[in-house]
Amino acid sequence: MKSRSALAVAAACALSAQLAEARITSVTWDPARSQAPSMFAGQSAAFGGLSFGRVGQYEKLRGTAMGELDPNDPRNKVITDIELAPRNAAGMVAYSMDVFVLRPLNQANGNQRMLLDFNNRGQMRLGRLNNGTVTSDPVSAADAGDGLVMRLGYSVAGNGWDFGATGTANMKISVPKLTGLPGPSYEYLVFDNATTTTATLTFPANTLDKALAKLTVRSLLDDTPRTMLASEWEYASPTQIRLLPAGTRFQQSAIYEFTYTARDPVVSGVGLAATRDWVSFLRHASAAEGNPLGGQVEHTYSYSISQPSRTLNDFVLFGFNEDLQGRRVLDGILSHTGGGSGDQINYRFGQTGRTERNRQNHLYPEGVFPFAHQTLADHLSGKTAGRDERCKASDTCPMRFEVNTSNEYWVKAGSLLHSDTRGRDLKEPHKVRYYLMSGQSHGVGDITDRGVCQQFTNAVSPYPAHRALLAALDRWVSHGARPPKSEIPRDNERVWAVTRPGIQTGVVPQKALGWPSIPGVTYTGVITTRYFLDFGSTLDDGIISNYPPSLVGRPSYPIFVSKVDRDGNEIAGVRMPGVAAPVATTTGWALRRAEFGGNDGCESDGQHIPFAVTQAERRAAGDPRKSLQERYKTHAGYVMAVAKAARKLGEKGFLVDEDVQKFIAEAQASDVLVGVPPARDHDDDEDDRDDD
C-alpha cells in the first residue's frame, strides 16, 4: 500500500515558501480517513453521497498539518514557556495536529463562509447544529442529520488544539514537552463508582518520595479534609496513585485531593497559535499553496460548546484573533457555555480538560480576572484588564454571541461576564450580545434518568436556538443586520448569592429567589462562589507557585442568578418552549443523591420536576404548582401554548422557521393531556391563577 504522503496531492505535501508566512508548513491528507472524490479518485462523496439542496454533495478531508512558531514574534511570545521549548534547525518551535475540512464538492455552490468547529476535548460539535450525530468523523447520511449547515453552503474546518485530547477519531495536537522541568501540581479526584482502584495524574511525578506529596479525603464538599497516612496510599507508577492495601477501592463520590511535584509540562498555549494559523491559512492561502478552501472563504465563524468556548475566551484575551499579518482571524464567534472563565491553556502545568462546577475543581486557575470583554478595574486584585484589550488595539475583535445556560450562572459565576467586579451591570459592547438560556442545564439531560442526581435531569435543549443564531451571526457580520437583543437577568429579575466565607460554595436564599416548596424536592440554594484566589506572584507569567490556594481570608466577587416564577422556572433570558410552555419545572442546578455525595451540587446537571397531570393529583400531593390540566385545559390548549412560544421565539430571531414548525409538530404528537378532561373553571383556586 502506498504511503499517505505519496497519495496526497503534491501541493499538500510540500507547500510553497510563501505559505511559511502563516506558519503552516505542510498538510498531508489521509485517503483512508477522507471521502473526497475530487482529490482521491474512486472515492464517494461524504454522508453516503447525500445531496444538500442547491449546494449539492459534500466531501470530507482528514489529515495532519505541521506548523512552526517563531518564539521571538511578539504575537507568539505571550505563550507561556515558549522560550523554553525545543527548536528546530530554523530556530522555530514545531507542532503537528489533526485537521479536518468539509466542503461542497462543487465549491462554487458554497456560501463562502467557513465555520470553525472548535472541538471539545477533541470531539467536534457540528452534529448539534445539524440535529445529527456528534462525531469527529461523519460518514453516513444519519451523521448529517437534517444537514442545515450544509444546506446553507458552509465549509467546515477543525483542528487539534487540546494537548489532552485522545481517541482515534478525535482531533489531537502534539505540542512541545519541557522534559525534566519540575513544578507544583494538584489533582482533584472524584469517582462516582465503587470500583476504581487507581487514579491517573495529568503529569508524571518528579519523585516517588511520598513525603513530598499529600493525599486528602472527605465525603462532602463542606467536610474538613483528612490527610491520609503514607501507609494508606502509594505511587503505582509516576503517573498513577492507588490506595493501600493493593486493590482498595476509592470511596464512591468521596473527594480526594492530591498535591505533589510534577515534571514534564507541555507548552499547551501552542494550541492557540496553531488554531490561529490554521484558520488564517484556510482563509488566505491559495489553492496552489495547498489550501483546500483557497479563494472560497470570505468570512470565518466559530462554533463551540463548553470547554472550547472557555478556550476561545483565552484565544481573544491573548491576542490570537490577530494573525501574523495583522488580519482578523475569526469574524464571528458563536460561543455556548463559556461564561467568563478561561481554560488554563496558558499556564505551566495547566489542565485544559478540567472545569469548575459547584462540587468540583474550585482551586484551579479557571475563574481568574478579567471575566468580561470590557476593560475594567478589579477592586479586589487592583488590576485593570479586559478580555478584548488586545483585539481592540489591533482592530481584530470578532462579533460575538455569548450564550450561557442557567447552569453557568449557578456553577461558574456566569454573571461576571456582563457585570463588573462589584456586580454592577456593564454597558453592552458594540460587538457582543448575551443570551441566558433560561432554566437550562449545561448539557441536555434525559427526563427518564436521574444520573447521580436526586431528580430527573433537564432535557430542554439550546441547540435549536444555536441554529437560528448562526444565521443571525452571519447576517450581522456580512450585512450589519441587528442581531437578537441580549436577554440576561437585569434589575429586579435577579437575585444575589450569599457568600459563606472560607467555604467553596455559597447560598441563594429560597425566598429571595422565589423558589416554591415542592413536595419531594430539596432546596439548599448551593451556588459556586467566585473567590479572588492567590495562586502566587508569578501567575501573570503563566506559572502557578501556590497550588492549591487557600480560601482562608479570601474575598469574593458578587454574583447573581435569575429569579424564578411560581413554578420555579426562571423569568429572565431566552425561554424555549420547554420553559415558556412548560410541563415541568426545569432548573440549571441539581443536587446529588445520598450515595453520590448527599446534598452537594450535581455539577452540570439540572432538574426536570414534572407537574401533576390533574388538579386532583396536585392537591393530593400538596404541590403549589398548577397541574397541566389547570394550565392548558386540553391537549389542544397545550399545543396552542407551545405554538405561541415557538412563534414568539421565531419573531425574536431565536428559532428558524423549520424549527418553529418542528416544536408545534412535537407538541401535537405528544401525549400531554390526551384523554384527560378539562378542569372545571369553578374549581380553580384563587391563589393558583397565573401572574400577569
Task: Report pLDDT digits (tens) over 182-222.
Answer: 999 999 999 999 999 999 999 999 999 999 999 999 999 99
Phi, psi of 120 (to 5 degrees): -105, 110
Backbone angles phi, psi at 506, to 5 degrees: -110, -160
Residue 359 has pLDDT above 50, yes or no: yes
The whole-number pLDDT of residue 692 equals 36
**What pLDDT score does 14 carry?**
35
- Sorted by sequence, the CB contacts under 8 Å of residue 386 that are 6+ apart come out as 370, 372, 373, 374, 375, 376
pLDDT(6) > 60: no
pLDDT > 70: percent of the chain: 95
181, burial (CB in 10 Å: exposed 0-12, middle 13-18, buried 19+): middle
Q: What is the mean pLDDT of residues 16-40?
A: 81
Mean pLDDT of all residues in 67-87: 97
* pLDDT tens for each residue of 404-415: 999 999 999 999
Matching residue, cell 443523591: 593
Q: What is the pLDDT of residues 447-485, one digit of tens each?
A: 999 999 999 999 999 999 999 999 999 999 999 999 999
Distances 315 to 75, 232, 333, 345 between C-alpha atoms, Å:
12, 42, 11, 9
Q: Rounded to 5 degrees, what are φ and ψ at 232?
A: -100, -5
- pLDDT category, 40, cuts 50, 70, 90? very high
What local confidence, expressed as pLDDT, does residue 12 receive? 36
* Residues 358/590, Cβ–Cβ less than 8 Å: no
Answer yes or no: is pLDDT of 11 > 90: no
Both ends of the chain: CA-CA distance in Å? Answer: 72
Task: Using alpha carbons, list the distances in angstroms from residue 372 to 241, 314, 680.
Answer: 39, 12, 52
pLDDT digits (tens, 9 = 90+) for 231-242: 999 999 999 999
Q: CA nearest 636: which of 608, 676, 683?
A: 676
Give the pTM: 0.95
**pLDDT digits 0-9 by tens, 556-612:** 999 999 999 999 999 999 999 999 999 999 999 999 999 999 999 999 999 999 999
Average pLDDT of 678-692? 51
- Which of the four pLDDT bands, split at 50, 70 and 90, describes residue 15? very low
Label residue 680 by pLDDT band (50, 70, 90): confident
Mean pLDDT of 85-91: 97
DSSP letter at 350 equals -
Closest-CA residue to 646 (of 667, 660, 662): 660
- Closest by CA to 163, choosing from 437, 22, 349, is 349
**114: β partners:** 155, 300
Average pLDDT, stretch 113-135? 97
CA 166 to mean position of chain CA atoms? 18
| Percentage of residues of the chain with pLDDT beyond 90 | 95
Per residue in 254-301, pLDDT (tens digit) is 999 999 999 999 999 999 999 999 999 999 999 999 999 999 999 999
Average pLDDT, the chain: 95
255 bridge partner residues: 218
Q: What average pLDDT does range 517-530 have in this prediction?
A: 98
Q: Is the pLDDT of residue 686 over 90?
A: no
Q: Is the pLDDT of residue 244 over 50?
A: yes
- pLDDT for the residue numbered 22: 52
Q: Give the strand pairing for 399-405 and 376-377.
A: unpaired
Residue 685 scores a pLDDT above 50? no
pLDDT at 132 over 50: yes
**What nine digits make up the cell of 26?**
505542510
Residue 683 clears pLDDT 80, i.e. is over it: no
If pLDDT is split at 50, 70 and 90, which confidence band does 681 have? Answer: low
